[in-house]
Structure formats: C-alpha cells, structure tokens
Amino acid sequence: MIQIITDSAADFEPQELQELNINCIPLTVIFGEQEFKENLDLSKPQFYQLLTGSAVFPTTSQAPPRHLLQHFEAAAASGDDAIYICLSSGLSSTYQTAMLVRDSLGSDHCFVVDSRNATGGQRMLVEQACRLRDAGHTAAEIVAALEQLRERTCLYACINTLEYLHRGGRINYSTYRLGTMAQIKPIITVNGQGQVDVPAKTMGMKKGMELLCSKAAARPADPDYPFYVMYTDNRGVAEELARRLSVHGQQVNGVIGVGAAIGSHIGPDACGLVYVSAK
C-alpha cells in the first residue's frame, strides 16, 4: 500500500482528506500569543475572521519535524511506502526539513515531492498521486509522474487589496497608498522555481478577472485534469470568475477555498485559477 501525505497548504477540506485517504500535516498559524493548527482548531472562516478583525498580523510556520517522522514511521511499521507532497521550497523550508527527516530514516520507502506550488497547485499534485495510487502504480512511478506534472501546473490569482502585502512587509507604505488610490490589483503566479511572481497589474477586479481568463486562454488546459477556481474568504468572487471563464469557453470543475498559508499574505476577496496545461 502507498500512503499519501501532504500539509494543510494544499487547501483540502477535512472531509475531502477522508474521502481520498490522505494524511495531512497542519501548518501552525500564529496571531500574537495565540497559536492554532490549521483545519484542526482553526477553520478557514475562523482564520479570515481573525485576519480581518485583528490588529496583529499572522505568521505561519511548518509543523514540527516529528509530525512527518511519525507518518513515515507508521508507514514503515505497516510495510507501506509513503509519499509526502509538500508546500513549495520557494515559499517555505518545509521541503528541506522533510528531506532531513527522510534521510534520517535511511529508508527506500519514504519519498518527498516538492510541489513547487501551493494551495490549488499543490492540491493538483496530491489528487493525481491519489489517482495513480488507486490505479496500482508504484511509489517511484507516482513520484516521477508528479515531477513531470508540476511543470505543467498553472496558477494565477488576482489580489483585491494591497493591505496585507503592506502589513506583511512585502510592499512599502507609499506603494500601498498609491496602489490603493489607483485601484491597482496585482496578478500573481507561481513560477517554475516555486516562487511568487507578479507578471501584471490591473485597475479593478473586473479587469483582473478578464486578465486571468486571458492567461488561461493563452496556455490552454489539458481536459484530462480538473480546472479549479480559488478564493479567499469571499466565494462570490470565485463564482464570478467561473462565470467569466465559462463565457470564454472554459469549464470549471470545482472551487477551492484558500487557507492561511497564502491567504495571510493576500487577504480577503482575492480569486484565482489553477489547472494543468495541455503542453
């Protein structure tokens, strides 16, 4: 048997994890002196309530290495292989820590895959791992397939507010004020190194959504994989994006709520899309 492991940055809902038989390691979310385990004692709606209502800017951190070690040891004790698909190494040290844990065991049955992505992009790889597992593929075959698939995984999002980029220290006050006054909405993506890029900026969310649609049209989706829209806190913006994509001829297969790993940096009312390109 093959055990699939991920972390809460993949933005599965708890019931989805059960249905797909996925083990999930929760990220730690910290608001001042309050510390939470994502999806265990802090749901996504609760997170956004704290994010928008607290003067304290949150931080997130990877789970202690012992949590992954416990999963790997449990798999070994059952005679299983284990594949951990983690948050991008370009966004977190989770991958490096996972490799140290794997190497400490000296086992040929534990595998670590750097998703080079987050939220829906990471989730896309985890879902494919589950499909391949259920189809009877070996762990080595699954890892090789995921490393190829991540090169075709496309994620774009439109940020509605610059406030959280400013609060997180990613833009200065002048840029925040001028951008807010001009209704600037950054378009973000995850590049091939798993880092966040800002390939474009638009004026207003409507133009931002249209630019997302044009990005998807410029690099068409592979119909063998799902096409998702994503949102932070406000599902309505995802539904509007899905409507616009439909007008452009793109079918949407599902909606993903974005959690703390990315939501803490981009804030509420953002929307995005994620899919696997045809080539």
pLDDT digit string, tens, across residues 148-197: 999 999 999 999 998 988 887 778 888 888 889 889 999 999 999 999 99
139 and 130 Cβ atoms separated by less than 8 Å: no
CATH 3.40.50.10170 domain position(s) in the chain: 2-151
Backbone torsions φ then ψ of 12, nearest 5 degrees: -80, 150
Q: Percent of the chain scored above 70 by pLDDT?
A: 100
| Cβ neighbours, 10 Å, residue 169 | 8
Report how far residue 257's alpha carbon sits from residue 11's, in angstroms, rounded to the nearest whole number.
Answer: 7
Q: Say yes or no to pLDDT of 27 above 90.
A: yes
CA-closest candidate to residue 160, choices 217, 211, 203: 203
Average of pLDDT values for 109-133? 98
Chain position carrying tokens 């083990």: 23
The DSSP secondary-structure symbol of 57 reads P
- Structural contact between residues 255 and 44, judged by C-beta atoms closer than 8 angstroms: no
Show the beta-strand stretches assigned E in 66-192.
Answer: 81-86, 110-114, 153-158, 184-190
- As assigned by CATH, the class of the 2-151 domain is alpha beta
Who's near 219: CB < 8 A, 6+ residues apart? 154, 277, 278
- Three-state DSSP at 5 gives strand
What is the value of pTM for the model shown? 0.95
The residue-averaged pLDDT of 193-220 equals: 95
Under 8 Å CB-to-CB from 210, ≥6 apart: which residues?
244
For the stretch 34-65, pLDDT in tens is 999 999 999 999 999 999 998 899 999 998 99
Helices 94-105/65-77 angle, 10° precision: 40
What is d(CA 261, CA 45) in angstroms, rounded to the nearest whole number?
14
CA dihedral 253, 84, 20, 255 (to 10 degrees): -20
Mean pLDDT of the residues in the chain: 95
- 153-276 is classed CATH 3.30.1180.10: yes
246-263 average pLDDT score: 96
pLDDT per position as a tens digit, 220-248: 999 999 999 999 999 999 999 999 999 99
